[in-house]
Amino acid sequence: MQREEIRELLTATELDVLLSRADQVRRSCVGDVIHIRALLEFSNQCFRNCKYCGLNLGNENLKRYSMSYDDIITVAKTAFEVGYKTIVLQSGESHDFDICILRDIVREISSWGMIVTLSCGELRDSEYALLKSSGASKYLLKHECANADMYAHLHDGYLLEDRLKSARVIKGLGYEYGGGFLVGLPDEVIELVIDNLLLIQKLACDMVGVGTFIAHPDTILKGEKSGDYELTLRCIAIVRLMLPYSNIPATTSLSILGDSDRIFSAGANVVMVKVTPQAERECYEIYPSNAHTTDIEKDRVNMQFKINKLGRQSS
CA–CA distance, 285 with 174 (Å, rounded to integer):
31
Q: Say which amino acid occupies 176.
A: E
- Answer yes or no: are the C-beta atoms of 159 and 151 closer than 8 Å: yes
Supply the DSSP string of 153-220, one letter for each residue.
HHTTT--HHHHHHHHHHHHHTTPEEEEEEEE--TT--HHHHHHHHHHHHHHT-SEEEEEE----TTST
Strand partners, 176: 138
Q: Say which amino acid occupies 105.
A: I
Give the predicted TM-score (pTM) of the model: 0.95
Superfamily of domain 3-308: Aldolase class I (3.20.20.70)
Where along the chain do its domains lie?
3-308
Residue by residue, pLDDT tens for the chain (315 residues) are: 999 999 999 999 999 999 999 999 999 999 999 999 999 999 999 999 999 999 999 999 999 999 999 999 999 999 999 999 999 999 999 977 899 999 999 999 999 999 999 999 999 999 999 999 999 999 999 999 999 999 999 999 899 999 999 999 999 999 999 999 999 999 999 999 999 999 999 999 999 999 999 999 999 999 999 999 999 999 999 999 999 999 999 977 665 555 667 888 899 999 999 999 999 999 999 988 766 788 999 999 999 999 999 899 998
Q: 159 CB contacts (<8 Å, ≥6 apart)?
A: 148, 151, 152
CA–CA distance, 285 with 223 (Å, rounded to integer):
16
**Computed over its alpha carbons, how large is the radius of gyration of the chain?**
18
CA–CA distance, 14 with 202 (Å, rounded to integer):
26
- In whole angstroms, how far apart are CA 109 and each of 85, 86, 88, 142, 158? 11, 10, 11, 24, 32
SS (H, E, C) 19-39: HHHHHHHHHHHHCCEEEEEEE
Residue 197: Cβ within 10 Å count: 25
DSSP code, position 223: T
Q: Select from 111, 177, 100, 102 the least CA-distant residue to 140.
A: 177
Angle at 103 between CA 100 and CA 109, to 5 degrees: 145
Q: Provide the CB-side half-sphere exposure for 226 (13 A, CA).
A: 17
